[in-house]
Chain A
């Protein structure tokens, strides 16, 4: 074995990765080569010195500092998020209101059109009266459906992730539903 190969084995020996055969080879070389023998001795001493250097202890209580910094950061993030949510909810509320007003504007135009048919209800022809009543019901009902549709669209498309608007639009939805039920009931009673 040459000195180069011996050097490889020396390092392996220092790292405790050497097997029996290799160890035997190394010993044989060291016995016959004073240079390598000296080299190995001082290498071992060097590594021994290195391994005696201890790690330092981490500063006292550093884990508490880390945790409190994380908590601080989280709190700040939550505050920022809340602030953004408030602004967004405000914006959504205003926008939502315009959207709904717009939706009801359509409804009132249709209601007006529906009312047109009711003018003729007091005609002498009974059959014609019923026909007009049906027209009126159909058109005013679609007016209300369109309003509901607009609101639903609002809720689903625009502001699904903003709970403020969802609640607002939800409440309006319920309100509109009740309003419709009421008018249907009135119509049936008549």
Chain B
């Protein structure tokens, strides 16, 4: 049994210390999914807590057949969809939607202005394209994982990502001559 399998088993038996380890390990993924889906930091923090409580309550149903992260993200995604439906969480106007600039110096590949533009472009995509781009490129999930979370065949997920990339490419190149000429080779 791997280390993680052991931790999961202990958490399944009600060991909260073990579950805390799992929360620490996956909070970034779960939080980012909530943040992207709910489009608000406070809602995302609340949603993350809610999601982890749901994950804990459903822990016995996890059978190890898929990766724990995939299983947890599936629960998170369903919960976000429910939240959006129930509370009718308003979609924040994209102009007001600013991304925190984490200012660790070595990560400054792209300036915050560009970052904002990328996020804006992604947010302007139709929902189903936006989702897959976020999952694949922002959260670094694999095609298989995304297909598992969304419950769609992998071929559909792949095609959707391909199409979304094309849409973004067109968006970028029509904007003030595009980033490419502006920035040269990234």
Contact = CB atoms under 8 A, between A and B. Distances in A.
Contacts of A65: 49
B107 A54 contact: yes
Interface residues of A, number: 32
Given A46-B168, A46-B169, A52-B110, A66 B179 contact: no
Interface in B150-186: 158, 161-162, 165-166, 168-169, 172-173, 178-180, 185-186
Interface in A11-33: 11, 14
Interface in B60-76: none
A70 B53 contact: yes
B179 A55 contact: no
A2 to B, nearest CB: 16
B129 interface: no
Contacts of B165: 11, 14, 43, 46-47, 50
A63 B23 contact: yes
Interface string B81-114: 0000000000000000001101000010110001
A49 B180 CA distance: 10
17 contacts: A7-B162, A42-B172, A43-B165, A43-B166, A45-B172, A46-B172, A49-B114, A51-B137, A52-B109, A55-B29, A55-B139, A56-B28, A56-B100, A59-B45, A67-B16, A70-B16, A70-B53
Interface of B: 16, 19-20, 23-24, 27-32, 35, 45, 48-49, 52-53, 56, 99-100, 102, 107, 109-110, 114-115, 118-119, 122, 133, 137-140, 158, 161-162, 165-166, 168-169, 172-173, 178-180, 185-186
